[in-house]
Structure 1
Amino acid sequence: MNKLYLYTLKTLNMRFTGKLFNFLFLALITTLVIGCQQNKSTHQLDLDFLFKIKLSDPQQDSIAKNVEHLTQRALTSKNTLKDRELIDSVLDQLRWTDAKEFVTLAHIAKKDAIKSKDQNRLASIFNDLAVYYQDKGLYDSVYYYHLQSENIYKKLQDNYAIAENNFYQGILFYELGLQIESEVKIAKALKLLEKKQNNPVYMLALQTMAYHYADQNNLDKAEQYLDRAFQVYQRIKDNPKLIAQNRKYLFLGNLYANYSMISYFREDYNKAEIFAQKGIEEIQKNFNPFIFSFVNMDYQLALYKQGKNPNIIEGLMISYKIHDKLDYDFYKADLSIAIAQIYQEKNQSENAIKWAKKSYDIAKKANLNLQQKQAIEFLLLQDSSSKNYHLIEELIELNKVLHQREKQTQEKFTKIEYETLYIVNENKSLRFKITVIITVSIVVFLSLIFLFFYTRTKAKNIALKNLAIKKSIDEKILNLLFLNNKLQQSSINSERNRIANDLHDGVINSIFTLRFNLQQLQSDNQQLQDSLVGELQRLEAKIREISHELANSSAFNKNSFEELITQLVKQQKNPYNTKFTLTIESDVCMESLSVEEKINLYYILNEILDNVNKHSQAINCLVNLYTIDNQLILTVTDDGIGMDKEQSREQTLKHIKDRANIIQAKLNIESNNPVGTKITLEI
């Protein structure tokens, strides 16, 4: 019987430190105020999620009622993106209830998060959905939303959030009895946090791993993990950003309870008692009945094994009453079988069977197959007579159900993970295709832009090259015009010098000789002679003056460009015998113009005069050059028949406008048929 007791007691304690005790472990987290972020992480630990203790119906109704007005505001919001804080706050409360509004709000929030590309918010919504469905016992949905959150955190490369998410999954697997899967997830969480050990998630994951080793009866390894968890606690206990100072006692009490468990399994009951007593002392500093119920159980059993606790039943009933008040059937069923074991050891078979049946009834009603199976095994060991044959059949059936359920759970979770990964891979493939399409489109677009600018640049270069050639040709033409004018001037000057020399050397000398000889003549009419001599002197002086003027004429001191303009105007002739008149004011300085301005001004004037000759039928054409405020003004005015607007805009003056634009000159045309035309050019 003692052997059976130890087996059952160990199984019970394993469950408390595993499937049950993890609730104690998680409950403690709600007492921690944690600010655990990575350097690049904006993720905040969900304290309430870690404290996922089932609430009673009255508690759920109370929460829903407290936020009822906020729920209605959130549901009727016209701008859900603007009211996101309100919606998220309501979701945070309603996830612990059965309120149908939660699903509606979660759908709205999810839609907004996707629309605004807020990945952190979307992951938080998935976590809320996991809490909501876990309270309903829909573990496949819980796992699905955990995977959705994990995929988002992987995309964000937020290792801390991934570690926390893996920790949640590990606890879920542990609760469902999937030990291997749970251990894998917890190991992943520990690995991700290896470089950031001073945080609560790492500490909790170490304790969970200790439960796994305790389940495998590897107590040394389990104690090593508890030691590591205790070391982390020592490093962060005084950091208010990691653990609230008024809550750290609960976590320390939990650690002592775990050490008590390890000592109990090693049959070191005195040490187990000491650790349990320390745990109770710490919990009393910030009392929590739920956590106390488990530490009290360890303490009562440790005393009992040392023969110090004759009132073991009363001691365990303290924990039982706490769970009964909290309406936790899971824990009530396990405690009932533990009490039955104690009565059995005390040889009180009637009470033992009574409590075993109570455990059986609680487990069957709550559909707790594992506890139901344990209760049946206990009852059959007490009495295996034929009257309990139906229990044997039920036990066989329960074994089949448990095996089938475990298999179905594994298959379902595997399918969920496969489908989730398939969707992720499909999304990756789709994103890759979209990326390729976008990349190709961008390359094509950039190529077209490059081709456009290349063609445009090439055209500009050609235009610039042509402009440079034109400029060079214009300069050559101007130089030729200057050279021609210079040659003409040179010829004219040479001819004038020749005439001047001929006058000076020939005519003047002849007149001088004639005057001299006339003076030598003897004449009776001296007065006439003097008159002729005087006239010859005046004629000599006049010819000498003309000779000097021809040799040094001031009429040719003006610059050559002005002469080009003058010659251009003078040489104009047309069938209408138009009289062309040029007026150049004295303050006009042609030398201030650039070569380009001179060339274009010359051709503009030439084009205007050409148009006058061809189209104006004018009697008079006046060309004026003058300056106003350092601007050279050219006006050409005729009294001809004028031109219509269409003609002036598109045909006749196109070249004039082009050349005016080249030298950035302002061109103005005034023409009203048949009043005449006035063209003004300002440089």
Structure 2
Amino acid sequence: MLDSIYTLRELSNQDKLKIEQRLQYAKQASELSAETGLDSTILISRKNLSYNILLSGDYDQYAEMNIGNLVLAQKIQDTLAIADANFNLGWYNQYNSDLENAYQYYLQALKYYEFANNDYQRAITITNIASIQDEEKDYLGSEQNAIEALRILNNITDKDVEIDIYYCLNLLGIVSYKLKNYDKAIEYHNESLDILKNYREYDVEKLYALNNIAIAHRDNGEYEMALKIFEDLFKEPNLRERDPSFYALLLANNAYTDFLNESYEVKPLETQFKEALRLSDSINDDATKLAVSIDLAKFYQKTDKRDSSLKYAKQSYTISKEITANELLLESMILMADLTEGEESKAFLAEHITLSDSLLNVERAKRNKFARIRFETEQLEEENKQFARDRQYLAIISIFLLIGAVLIYIVINQRAKNKELQLVQAQQKANEDIYNLLLQQQDKVDEARTQEKKRMSQELHDGVLGRLFGTRLSLDSLNFSDGPEAIKNRTGYIEQLKTIEEDIRKISHELNTDFVSGSGFMDIVTELVENQSKAYQLTCNFNYSDDISWENIDNKTKINIYRIIQESMQNIYKHAKATSIDISITLKNDVICLKIKDDGKGFDSTKSRKGIGIKNMTSRIKDIEGDINFISKKGKGTKVIVEIPYIINDNDRA
């Protein structure tokens, strides 16, 4: 579905298609987006649809779409979309001359564009605000904002903003003219013309800029400069047909400048004024007709044609009321007051004063209202900024607290690791001590065996071999004797050989007997049990079988057995409060069985499995692939049963 939506959006933006087709595609994309339930997708499609509605000229529907877009954008907190919707609603209200609402929407848009760091749209929004201020006669405020917009646009390098700069310069030229800063107005309009030289499609705007420059020269007293520009403008081909309204205005401006220059001939100038009036009347251009009527009234007043002057003064008075052109209405009232007499003249002056005061009050009220709107917006913005700062401070504090917590955790964890490392090192040292004890014990066994072998060798050499040698010599001497005495002697020597044979059998039996069977690993364990029992004031019964070849069992297993016995006796002393213990080590079905039983207070073996001692013993047994069980009940002592595979080399077993 999303692919279809993207395709429809692309089709709705095809310039080569008619607006009706584009609108249809945009509506389909919006309807499909609504089915997805994805607010972001819905909003994008609605924005696309509202743009096509704008192109179609249905401005009321365009406003309705943007009201909905604003609600949706606020729901999903899309800053840029909120700004765009406010801007579009500002434009709609400005188009409909609802400047107060337009101003409010533009201020909201400006705030969100600032949040979104969208400098281009900020500049456009500020330009529109400046335009509203111009319409409300806040010329200084308008000039200030237009300059700010121009500054922002001049700093944008990632897109073409020349036409936007033109609009800013043109507005600054108009505002400067109204502030009677004519030189500055001419400068701004000339800068705008420099931009338009590169754009053929803006030929009409070029003509308007030249007309504005000419008017500024005229009101600055530079009539010849103004007339020269008007003369050049009249040379534009087909200007009357292309823009009859502007052509009529140009005729009037040129004639009035000539009139002010006081170097004119009455008849040609009158003809020019009336041509401008006729042309504007023919195209129903009331604004130009009004301006020409006032100029004609002044012209006839200057040339002492009072009736004609009064005629056009009345005409300007009527038109200005009809189209609510208050500035020109005030001017026409002054003319009417000058051209009439008595009470009628006073009435026009009174009306002028009333309207002038009314307009001044309205203007002041609007300025105050706009100032209040800006103040309230800025106050709200400041509150939002303060809220943002508070959130930022809270975030910073939270970050510091988090960092502190992490550091504390690291310190605690490191200390735990250090303790664990110290424990491991202590265990390793204990294991090394046990291993050294085993080595020392093995050395003692080896030394005993060596001494025994030496004793056997001496006994064989000095005893048995000597006796064998003597008996052999005696038997050799009887080889040549056959008498009774010889037989008797042989019998005696045979008995001696039997005695020697028995001695050899005895020595052989001693060699086959493990004369150090009571020594080695069990001696170390016995010493441990005796020392611990004495230290803990326990009565201990320790038994072990002799059929386990400890010298053929790896040291890792022996060390762990040693440590389990040691750990068990420590636990019994610390926790069990026992008085006696039984320890046995036996061999059953190639399994070494270690049993440790005490008469202590016992514990609930189903719940107390988290102690360090129990964990250590379980870990040790698991390390040598054995099993360990704890059998205990409260008040009935504890029994620890350990089973370890009895694994020796086949050669050793043989």
Q: Does 1:142 align with 2:102?
A: yes
Shift of 1:509: 3.0
Residue deviations 1:526-579 (CA, integer Å, cap 9, x gap): 44543543454465477568769978x897999x99x6389979x99x989996
8 Å contact kept, 1:582–1:622 = no
8 Å contact kept, 1:600–1:660 = no
Q: 1:251 aligns with which of 201, 205, 208?
A: 205
Range with bigger deviation, 262-271 or 200-209:
262-271
Shift of 1:155: 3.7
Q: Name the SS of the counterpart of 2:188 in structure 1.
A: helix
**Aligned runs of 1:601-620 on 2, under 5 Å?**
603=563
Q: Does 1:84 align with 2:84?
A: no
Q: Does 1:298 align with 2:250?
A: yes
Q: 2:383 aligns with which of 426, 450, 460?
A: 426
Q: 2:125 aligns with which of 162, 165, 172?
A: 165
Amino acid at match of 1:250: V
Amino acid at match of 2:202: K
Residue deviations 1:407-458 (CA, integer Å, cap 9, x gap): 2222222222222221122211121112112211221122122212311221
Amino acid at match of 2:166: M
**Aligned runs of 1:538-557 on 2, under 5 Å?**
540=500, 543=503
Q: Whole-Å Cα distance in 1 between the matches of residues 181 and 610 of structure 2? A: 107
Q: Whole-Å Cα distance in 1 between the matches of residues 77 and 387 of structure 2? A: 18
Q: Whole-Å Cα distance in 2 between the matches of residues 607 and 189 of structure 1? A: 83
Identify if the C-alpha distance between structure 1 residues 494 and 94 changes in structure 2 by more than 3 Å, giving closer, same or farther: same
Partner of 1:473: 430
Q: Whole-Å Cα distance in 2 between the matches of residues 315 and 359 of structure 1? A: 14
Residue deviations 1:37-83 (CA, integer Å, cap 9, x gap): xxxxxxxxxxxxxxxxxxxxxxxxx9xx9999799969988654322
Amino acid at match of 2:454: N
Q: Does 1:223 align with 2:186?
A: yes
Partner of 2:588: 622
Residue deviations 1:338-380 (CA, integer Å, cap 9, x gap): 4655666787766654554444344435544323222222222
Gaps of 5+ in 1: 1-61, 238-244, 625-633, 639-645
Identify if the C-alpha distance between structure 1 residues 372 and 532 changes in structure 2 by more than 3 Å, giving closer, same or farther: farther
Q: 1:267 aligns with which of 223, 231, 239?
A: 223
8 Å contact kept, 2:251–2:273 = no
Q: 1:310 aligns with which of 266, 271, 292?
A: 271
**Aligned runs of 1:409-558 on 2, under 5 Å?**
409-506=366-463, 508-510=465-467, 512-513=469-470, 516=473, 524=484, 526-527=486-487, 529-534=489-494, 536-537=496-497, 540=500, 543=503
Partner of 2:616: 658
8 Å contact kept, 2:193–2:209 = yes
Amino acid at match of 1:176: E
Residue deviations 1:460-508 (CA, integer Å, cap 9, x gap): 1111111101211211122012202321331343244224423432454
Range with bigger deviation, 173-182 or 347-356:
347-356
Partner of 1:51: none
8 Å contact kept, 1:167–1:185 = yes
Q: Whole-Å Cα distance in 1 between the matches of residues 450 and 126 of structure 2? A: 108
Q: Whole-Å Cα distance in 2 between the matches of residues 378 and 133 of structure 1? A: 35
Shift of 1:605: 9.0
Shift of 1:263: 5.3
Partner of 1:131: 91
Partner of 2:533: none
Q: Name the SS of the counterpart of 2:484 in structure 1.
A: coil
Amino acid at match of 2:215: M
Q: Whole-Å Cα distance in 1 between the matches of residues 172 and 253 of structure 2? A: 24
Q: Whole-Å Cα distance in 2 between the matches of residues 427 and 333 of structure 1? A: 49
Range with bigger deviation, 491-500 or 457-466:
491-500
Shift of 1:135: 3.5
Q: Whole-Å Cα distance in 2 between the matches of residues 72 and 354 of structure 1? A: 59
Q: Whole-Å Cα distance in 1 between the matches of residues 627 and 491 of structure 2? A: 64
8 Å contact kept, 1:503–1:543 = no
8 Å contact kept, 2:251–2:272 = no
Gaps of 5+ in 2: 1-19, 259-263, 530-539, 573-579, 596-603, 632-640, 648-654
Q: Whole-Å Cα distance in 2 between the matches of residues 582 and 501 of structure 1? A: 31
Q: Name the SS of the counterpart of 2:41 in structure 1.
A: coil
Q: Whole-Å Cα distance in 2 between the matches of residues 488 and 109 of structure 1? A: 95
Shift of 1:230: 2.4
Q: Whole-Å Cα distance in 1 between the matches of residues 360 and 421 of structure 2? A: 88
Shift of 1:603: 4.5
Q: Whole-Å Cα distance in 1 between the matches of residues 109 and 344 of structure 2? A: 53
8 Å contact kept, 1:508–1:544 = no
Q: Does 1:396 align with 2:353?
A: yes
Q: Whole-Å Cα distance in 1 between the matches of residues 611 and 500 of structure 2? A: 56
Q: Whole-Å Cα distance in 2 between the matches of residues 70 and 361 of structure 1? A: 51
Q: Whole-Å Cα distance in 2 between the matches of residues 282 and 665 of structure 1? A: 107
Amino acid at match of 2:328: Q
Q: Whole-Å Cα distance in 2 between the matches of residues 97 and 361 of structure 1? A: 33
Identify if the C-alpha distance between structure 1 residues 69 and 451 changes in structure 2 by more than 3 Å, giving closer, same or farther: closer
Shift of 1:390: 3.0
Q: Does 1:119 align with 2:79?
A: yes
Measured on the aligned residues, the alpha-carbon RMSD in Å equals: 5.3
Q: Whole-Å Cα distance in 1 between the matches of residues 182 and 610 of structure 2? A: 108
Shift of 1:312: 3.5
Q: Whole-Å Cα distance in 2 between the matches of residues 79 and 171 of structure 1? A: 38
Instruction: Report the count of equivalent residues.
Output: 574
Q: Name the SS of the counterpart of 1:82 in structure 2.
A: helix
Shift of 1:112: 3.2
Residue deviations 1:585-609 (CA, integer Å, cap 9, x gap): xxx986xx6x656522654699999
Identify if the C-alpha distance between structure 1 residues 227 and 654 changes in structure 2 by more than 3 Å, giving closer, same or farther: closer
Amino acid at match of 2:588: L
TM-score normalized with structure 2 length: 0.70
**Aligned runs of 1:281-430 on 2, under 5 Å?**
289=243, 293-302=245-254, 305=258, 307=268, 310=271, 312-322=273-283, 324=285, 333-334=290-291, 336-338=293-295, 340-341=297-298, 352-430=309-387
8 Å contact kept, 1:206–1:229 = yes
Partner of 2:638: none
Percent identical residues: 18
Q: Does 1 or 2 have the higher relative contact order (CA < 8 Å, sep 6+)?
A: 1
8 Å contact kept, 2:618–2:628 = no
Q: Whole-Å Cα distance in 2 between the matches of residues 483 and 490 of structure 1? A: 10
Partner of 1:189: 149
Residue deviations 1:177-231 (CA, integer Å, cap 9, x gap): 2222222222223333445596122222223333344345554443333332222
Amino acid at match of 1:81: S
Shift of 1:104: 5.8
Q: Whole-Å Cα distance in 1 between the matches of residues 610 and 190 of structure 2? A: 102
Amino acid at match of 1:82: T
Q: Whole-Å Cα distance in 2 between the matches of residues 420 and 128 of structure 1? A: 18
Q: Whole-Å Cα distance in 2 between the matches of residues 509 and 143 of structure 1? A: 134
Residue deviations 1:607-629 (CA, integer Å, cap 9, x gap): 999x9x978999x84163xxxxx
Q: Name the SS of the counterpart of 1:81 in structure 2.
A: helix
Q: Whole-Å Cα distance in 2 between the matches of residues 589 and 363 of structure 1? A: 123
